[in-house]
Amino acid sequence: MSQTRFAPRVFSGIQPSGGLTLGNYLGALKRFVDMQDTGDFETIYCMVDLHAITVWQDPEKLRHNTRELAAGFIASGIDPEKSVLINQSQVPEHAQLGWVFNCVARMGWMGRMTQWKDKAGKNAEKASLGLFAYPSLMAADILVYHATHVPVGEDQKQHLELTRDIATKFNHDYGVDFFPITEPVIEGAATRVMSLRDGSKKMSKSDPSDASRINMTDDADTIAKKIRKAKTDPEALPSEADGLKDRPEARNLVNIYAAMANMSVDQVLAEHGGAQFGTFKPALADLAVAHLAPISTEMARLMDDTAEIDRILARGAERARAITAPILKQTYEIIGMVAPVEA
Ligand code: TYM
């Protein structure tokens, strides 16, 4: 089927289920800004509050976290004029198309999702039905815009494959070429930022150890201290990427440096190869502080005026619905829903 008729459109989302980490920033936010600024795409970015409630959220905290995440997007460089910035629950077509996709996706597909298996653990019986259906709503987030490209970190790859499966099955079952087969965009040195305490674990907001991650709201001293204390090995840095193969902690710090400095790993090693961590870590800390401190200051400033954040989100929802309402309407026509009588 021809996929050429779809205009280049980017969609991506982040859960407002706690603070942002350096992993979210390098794996997602910074790349969202880059894609916005190329001007090659229409860009739509989303706080996915309906995904967050697949596990219990304190209502007041969720509201706060959603606004703080919006502030994080804007402080990182998302311009709400250039991009459409939205909160998922304010654009009802996401959930409406999500239901349709619940009827397209198969139980077996959902059961194979590693994130479901990790999060539900041994106690799947007690997990919410929403957690199981999570990837189907994610497919709806993307496809309700006919988005063609989705920048994410490595951990979302399987969900994006499922999005392609849902689009393919829908198009096949109804004999249409209606939904695009979306391209995941998983690029750069930091698509999987690892814990600072354990190079085999992803940096995550849910890790019980705060020392394992850099939070976007950490102050300069905290950032420098966490990097100084990051787990490493006693060797000097190699001068070529190959030398990082069996050194996950060293590789992680070099990847972080590369992503933040907009350099390749080879370029970082050309500059720092042979250096001990006693030298490299302070250089990395300086870079991280220079990069993150202005963002966290701007986030705090934006959070002083939450009414303005709410206005930005209301405007974003209005712009989003100009895209999503017609796509949902066409979907309903395709699947045989009776259309409402025009007033
Ligand atoms: P979430 O909220 O867990 O993470 C948001 C984004 O940050 C990336 N990320 C990382 N990247 C590199 N290293 C890390 N340690 C790291 N931790 C997180 C994630 O890959 C993601 O890109 N299901 C999604 C949210 C979502 C979504 C969507 C994304 C809902 N609908 C539609 C894209 C399109 C999630 O839970 O992301």
Cβ of 193 closer than 6 Å to ligand 1, yes or no, is yes
Is the beta carbon of 13 within 6 A of some atom in ligand 1?
A: yes
- Residue to substitute in 144, 152, 207 for testing ligand 1 pocket (most ligand atoms within 8 angstroms of CB): 152
Does 120 reside within a domain?
A: yes
In this structure, are 292 and 310 located in the same domain? no
The CB of 150 under 6 Å from ligand 1? The reply is yes
Q: Are residues 46 and 166 in the same domain?
A: yes
Residue 202 lies in a domain: no
What is the extent of the structural domain holding 286?
210-301
Atom number, ligand 1, closest to the C-alpha of residue 24 = 7
Structural domain total, the chain: 2
* pLDDT tens digit sequence for 274-296: 999 999 999 999 999 999 999 99
In angstroms, the CA 336 to CA 200 distance is 49
50-94: per-residue pLDDT in tens? 999 999 999 999 999 999 999 999 999 999 999 999 999 999 999
Using a 6 Å cutoff on CB, does residue 249 contact ligand 1?
A: no
CA-to-CA distance for 68 and 136, rounded, in angstroms?
A: 26
Which residues does 183 contact at the CB level (< 8 Å), separation at least 6?
148, 149, 150
Question: Hey, which of 17, 24, 194, 201 would you mutate to test ligand 1's pocket, going by the most ligand atoms within 8 Å of its Cβ?
Answer: 24
Percent helix / strand / coil, the chain, rounded to 5? 60, 10, 35
Task: Tell me, yes or no, whether 253 and 268 share the same domain.
Answer: yes
**Same domain assignment for residues 238 and 314:** no
Model confidence over 164-190: pLDDT tens digits?
A: 999 999 999 999 999 999 999 999 999
Calpha distance 207→19 (Å, rounded): 12
Say which CATH number the domain at 283 has. 1.10.240.10
Active site residues: 119, 202, 205
pLDDT > 90: percent of the chain? 95
Atom number of ligand 1 nearest to Cα 193:
13
Report if residue 71 sits inside a domain. yes
Q: Same domain, yes or no, for 297 and 322?
A: no
CATH of the domain at 89: 3.40.50.620
What are the pLDDT digits (tens) for 331-341? 999 999 998 88
Ligand 1 site, residue 191, Cβ cutoff 6 A: yes
Task: Identify whether residues 154 and 251 lie together within a single domain.
Answer: no
Q: What is the mean pLDDT of the chain?
A: 96
Would you say residue 340 lies in a domain? no
| Residues 154 and 63 both lie in one domain | yes
Same domain (yes/no): 59, 72: yes
pTM for this predicted structure: 0.96
DSSP 43: E
Residue 149 φ then ψ, to 5°: -135, 135
Residue 2 pLDDT > 70, yes or no?
A: no
Q: Give domain status of residue 112, yes or no.
A: yes
Two tokens, residue 329? 């309407």
